[in-house]
């Protein structure tokens, strides 16, 4: 029987809607669905991924059955087991480890927003472990924390016809965002509205800008304070808004007085005139929007001060909760993330085992509780598990040393930490020493190859999708599964429910299926599952100027901060060891004098490094199994400017080694317009076509930039623990070697072909 069903693509966070033609439970065709959000022919025409859906759905490299390790860890010997056998065995081993070491002996790891993570978080809460690690500290939390502490809640940029100036700061949506949003930036670039792009690399986004400012990496805080200096000195700030709604203006003005355009020009390596021009555009606009990204989020110690400085820039110009600038979001009408994860059910003794205390006083349960008291005045609560997620440095130490208690088991859900977490050598060694590793994934990734169990996950098309912004905005999108999971794959929800029930959590899992659970989530908002699937989303746009709403005494309700105003001078950050007023911090040095001397002695250089700048068609460590992509983008690159290439006698196509004291990796040199004092290095590269496991682990040691990075809590941001993926020093030098990437990716080796049967 042939039937057309609704479904979605999930090869990026945009979740485009599709029509799947289904025959006997199998998808035989997939076409864009123009009737549902977020259909746009331009997006689909520019997207190279969606046509992979059919191949991926039944790809011969997918893991289709639960696998249990046989023999040495990482030896790539597996036995196929039934779900009952796998889950019973995992539950039994977890119970035993819990009896022996306590429930905190179980840790978890997540990655980017590939799956709904609340089922894992619920499982961890019920199990009684605070040790969930993730990408929070370096991808989402810093901005959410600083917005919440400055404005009382988080904000979203609101770019529309009212917008008179746009700053795009440390983000390159041309490569990182397939969506309509990038199209809207492109339109701004073509219009009279001034567009400023702040990025040390001349990106495709920068090429649309009226002004490209290329600061030294990691100096953005000073640049933001420089903009504020000009805006205040030239009287371009919003006097009425500041007088009524900002706390600590005089203190802030005195603080930025020293950040003159000339001082900032020197500090950031930019032109003083450009600082003035950009500041004037921002200050004079009736509504100015600013969007920031990874360039700022992954700058270690600078992350909090830079976000704070940006918050202050918005506030002094009155660009908060204003159409065309940014809008303070609202909590979701549907059941919020914080309720779904059920952190309130975790007993205090278990929360007290959180390793972050006292290392990261904001990113921990105590810090969370203090902030909650403040934001709750206007009814808002952040998702607990993301905002308290455990610091990898501390959990790895507990794995390595048993201090302050042994962490012996790990669940890895939708992430490939051997490629994407900092300090690969350390992660690898810590994981190799564990008693139990369970990986839930589609593929035998390098990380899966060292697991005890690999559990096959159902993907988009095989499971319902409900993407929400961690419960900090009133939006969710997605749709239904078109088919039952192929083979024996299961959704993440089903896996955690089944495991939870085996470990005495039955009461926490009343809904038999993910769809039933989501139906209940939506019921709160008065929407049926059918309506949601019909529309492809739930959305209620936030209204502006909410601080003017009357409170119970008929006065304007203000902002959910300690002072009820936007805090230019923060009254709460010092409680967490933070600064009242934002000040830049020095960047991370990971190179010893000996390393630098060795590199320069053979013609190399000591440069600042940024890692992982987004590029199509890949995503982190994904899609390297697509032969077409590999043909068009065949090798991992290290990019330097033409002047630097000339200075070092390097040419495009040369093999270079990039190193820090942590380790080294090799890349193919590319030359592009960017600052002369830096190198930009790709991340995520491995060979899915190679035999998994030892000795090569999918080729992950060759060009893995995370062999060079560090997650040290001591050198990270002191309140949140954000480590550095950008603005790290490194050395680069030419090596005479051909890299494995020149091999044909379609030529699967025979060893891996043999293993296909087991999957």
Ligand X SMILES: Nc1nc2c(c(=O)[nH]1)N[C@H]1C(S)=C(S)[C@@H](COP(=O)(O)OP(=O)(O)OC[C@H]3O[C@@H](n4cnc5c(=O)[nH]c(N)nc54)[C@H](O)[C@@H]3O)O[C@H]1N2
Provide the binding-site residues for ligand X, judged by CB under 6 A.
111-112, 114-115, 135, 138-139, 169-173, 175-176, 198-201, 203, 215, 217-218, 220, 293-295, 299, 413-416, 420, 440-443, 445, 457, 492, 610-616, 618-622, 680, 683-684, 705-706, 709, 725-727
Q: What does the longest C-alpha to C-alpha distance in the chain come to?
A: 75
Gap between the Cα atoms of 337 and 472, Å rounded:
8
Sheet strand arrangement including 537-539: 465-468, 475-479, 537-539
Query: Do residues 714 and 720 lie in contact, with contact meaning Cβ atoms separated by under 8 Å?
Result: no
For residues 9 and 279, which CB has a smaller minimum distance to ligand SF4 in the complex? Answer: 9
- For ligand X, the nearest residue by Cβ is 111
Alpha-carbon distance values, 106 to 99, 487, 501, 512, 604 (Å) = 12, 29, 17, 25, 44
For residues 527 and 588, which CB has a smaller minimum distance to ligand X in the complex? Answer: 588
Q: Which two tokens stand for residue 435?
A: 């008693």
Q: To the nearest whole angstrom, how small is the minimum distance from the Cβ of residue 683 to ligand X?
A: 4
Q: Which residue has the tokens 């933001």?
A: 224
Q: Which residue has the tokens 């390098």?
A: 446
Q: To the nearest whole angstrom, how small is the minimum distance from the Cβ of residue 648 to ligand X?
A: 20
Rg, Å, the chain Cα set? 25
Sign of CA dihedral 594, 598, 603, 607: negative
The residue length of the chain stands at 759
Gap between the Cα atoms of 40 and 51, Å rounded:
15
Query: Do residues 339 and 272 lie in contact, with contact meaning Cβ atoms separated by under 8 Å?
Result: no
265 contacts Mo ion (rule: CB under 5 A)? no
The number of beta carbons lying within 10 Å of the beta carbon of residue 580 is: 18
| Partner residues linked to 288 by β-bridges | 165
For residues 74 and 293, which CB has a smaller minimum distance to Mo ion in the complex? Answer: 293
For residues 270 and 378, which CB has a smaller minimum distance to ligand X in the complex? Answer: 270
Residues at the contact surface with ligand SF4, assessed by CB under 6 A: 9, 11-12, 14-16, 43, 47, 49-50, 178
Q: Which two tokens stand for residue 457?
A: 């996950």
Q: To the nearest whole angstrom, how small is the minimum distance from the Cβ of residue 601 to ligand X?
A: 27
First to last CA, the chain: 28
Which of ligand SF4, ligand X, Mo ion, none does residue 47 bind (CB under 5 to 8 Å by kind)? ligand SF4
For residues 293 and 564, which CB has a smaller minimum distance to ligand X in the complex? Answer: 293
112 contacts Mo ion (rule: CB under 5 A)? yes
Q: To the nearest whole angstrom, how small is the minimum distance from the Cβ of residue 368 to Mo ion?
A: 21
Q: To the nearest whole angstrom, how small is the minimum distance from the Cβ of residue 245 to ligand X?
A: 28
Q: To the nearest whole angstrom, how small is the minimum distance from the Cβ of residue 105 to ligand SF4?
A: 38
Q: To the nearest whole angstrom, how small is the minimum distance from the Cβ of residue 135 to Mo ion?
A: 5
Which of ligand X, Mo ion, ligand SF4, none does residue 50 bind (CB under 5 to 8 Å by kind)? ligand SF4
139 contacts Mo ion (rule: CB under 5 A)? yes
For residues 18 and 368, which CB has a smaller minimum distance to ligand SF4 in the complex? Answer: 18
Which of ligand X, ligand SF4, Mo ion, none does residue 620 bind (CB under 5 to 8 Å by kind)? ligand X
What interhelical angle do 392-401 and 424-432 show, nearest 10?
40
Of the candidates 615, 640, 608, 566, the residue with the CA atom closest to the CA atom of residue 726: 608
For residues 177 and 492, which CB has a smaller minimum distance to ligand SF4 in the complex? Answer: 177
Q: To the nearest whole angstrom, how small is the minimum distance from the Cβ of residue 723 to ligand X?
A: 9
Q: To the nearest whole angstrom, how small is the minimum distance from the Cβ of residue 324 to Mo ion?
A: 27
For residues 350 and 489, which CB has a smaller minimum distance to ligand X in the complex? Answer: 489
237: left (phi over 0), alpha (psi -120 to 50) or beta: beta
For residues 49 and 294, which CB has a smaller minimum distance to ligand SF4 in the complex? Answer: 49
Which of ligand SF4, Mo ion, ligand X, none does residue 130 bind (CB under 5 to 8 Å by kind)? none
Is residue 260 packed enough to be buried (19+ CB in 10 Å), middle (13-18) or exposed (0-12)?
middle
Chain residues in the site for Mo ion (CB under 5 A): 112, 139
């Amino acid at each position: 029987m042939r039937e057309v069903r609704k479904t979605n693509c999930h090869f990026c966070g945009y979740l485009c809607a599709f029509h799947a033609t289904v025959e006997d439970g199998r998808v035989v065709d997939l076409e864009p669905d123009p009737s549902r959000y977020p259909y746009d022919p331009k997006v689909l025409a520019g997207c190279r991924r969606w046509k992979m859906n059919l191949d991926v759905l039944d790809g011969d490299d997918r893991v289709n059955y639960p696998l249990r390790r046989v023999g040495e860890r990482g030896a790539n010997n597996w036995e196929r087991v039934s779900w009952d056998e796998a889950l019973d065995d995992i539950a039994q081993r977890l119970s035993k480890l819990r009896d022996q070491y306590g429930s905190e002996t179980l840790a978890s790891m997540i990655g980017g927003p590939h799956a709904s993570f609340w089922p894992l978080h619920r499982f961890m809460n019920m199990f009684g472990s605070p040790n969930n690690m993730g990408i929070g500290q370096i991808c989402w939390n810093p901005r959410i924390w600083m917005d919440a502490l400055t404005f009382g809640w988080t904000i979203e940029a609101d770019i529309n016809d009212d917008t008179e100036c746009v700053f795009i700061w440390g983000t390159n949506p041309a490569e990182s965002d397939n969506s309509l949003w990038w199209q809207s930036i492109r339109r701004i670039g073509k219009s009279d509205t001034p567009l400023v792009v702040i990025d040390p690399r001349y990106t495709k986004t920068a090429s649309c800008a009226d002004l490209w400012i290329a600061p030294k990496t990691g100096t953005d805080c000073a640049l933001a304070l420089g903009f504020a200096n000009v805006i205040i000195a030239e009287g371009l700030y919003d006097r009425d808004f500041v007088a009524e709604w900002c706390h600590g203006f005089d203190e802030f003005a005195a603080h930025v007085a020293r950040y003159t355009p000339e001082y900032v020009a020197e500090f950031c390596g930019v032109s003083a005139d450009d600082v003035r021009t950009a500041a004037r555009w921002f200050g004079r606009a009736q509504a100015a929007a600013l969007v920031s990204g990874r360039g700022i989020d992954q700058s270690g110690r600078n992350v909090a001060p830079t976000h704070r400085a940006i918050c202050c820039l918005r506030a002094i110009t009155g660009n908060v909760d204003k159409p065309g600038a940014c809008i303070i979001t609202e909590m979701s009408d549907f059941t919020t993330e914080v309720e779904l994860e059920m952190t309130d059910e975790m007993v205090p003794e278990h929360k007290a085992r959180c390793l972050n205390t006292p290392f990261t006083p904001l990113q921990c349960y105590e810090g969370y509780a203090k902030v909650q008291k403040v934001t709750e005045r206007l009814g808002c609560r952040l998702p607990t598990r993301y905002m308290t997620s455990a610091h990898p440095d501390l959990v790895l130490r507990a794995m390595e040393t048993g201090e302050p208690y042994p962490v012996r088991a790990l669940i890895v859900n939708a992430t490939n930490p051997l490629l994407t977490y900092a300090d690969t050598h350390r992660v690898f060694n810590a994981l190799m020493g564990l008693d139990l590793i369970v990986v839930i994934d589609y593929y035998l990734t390098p990380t899966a190859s060292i697991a005890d169990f690999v559990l096959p996950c159902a993907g988009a098309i095989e499971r319902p999708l409900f993407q929400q912004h961690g419960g900090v905005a009133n939006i969710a999108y997605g749709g239904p599964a078109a088919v039952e999971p192929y083979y024996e794959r299961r959704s993440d929800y089903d896996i955690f429910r089944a495991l939870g029930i085996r470990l005495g959590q039955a009461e926490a899992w009343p809904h038999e299926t993910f769809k039933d659970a989501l139906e209940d989530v939506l019921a709160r908002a008065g929407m049926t599952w059918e309506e949601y699937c019909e529309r492809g989303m739930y959305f209620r746009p936030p209204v502006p100027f909410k601080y003017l709403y009357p409170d119970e005494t008929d006065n304007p309700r203000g902002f959910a901060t300690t002072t009820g105003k936007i805090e230019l001078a923060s009254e709460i950050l010092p409680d967490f060891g933070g600064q009242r007023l934002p000040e830049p911090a020095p960047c991370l040095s990971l190179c010893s004098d000996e390393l630098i001397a060795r590199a320069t002695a053979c013609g190399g250089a000591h440069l600042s490094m940024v890692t992982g700048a987004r590029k199509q068609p890949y995503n982190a460590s994904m899609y390297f199994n697509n032969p077409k992509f590999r043909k068009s983008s065949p090798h991992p690159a290290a990019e330097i400017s033409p002047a630097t290439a000339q200075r070092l006698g390097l040419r495009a196509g040369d093999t270079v080694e990039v190193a820090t004291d942590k380790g080294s990796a090799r890349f193919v040199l590319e030359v592009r317009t960017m600052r002369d004092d830096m190198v930009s290095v790709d991340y995520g590269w491995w060979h899915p076509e190679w035999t998994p496991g030892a000795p090569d682990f999918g080729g992950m040691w060759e060009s893995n930039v995370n062999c060079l990075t560090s997650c040290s809590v001591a050198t990270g941001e002191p309140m949140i623990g954000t480590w550095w993926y950008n603005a790290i020093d490194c050395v680069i030098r030419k090596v005479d070697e051909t890299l494995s990437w020149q091999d044909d990716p379609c030529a699967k080796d025979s060893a891996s072909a043999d293993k296909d049967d087991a999957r």
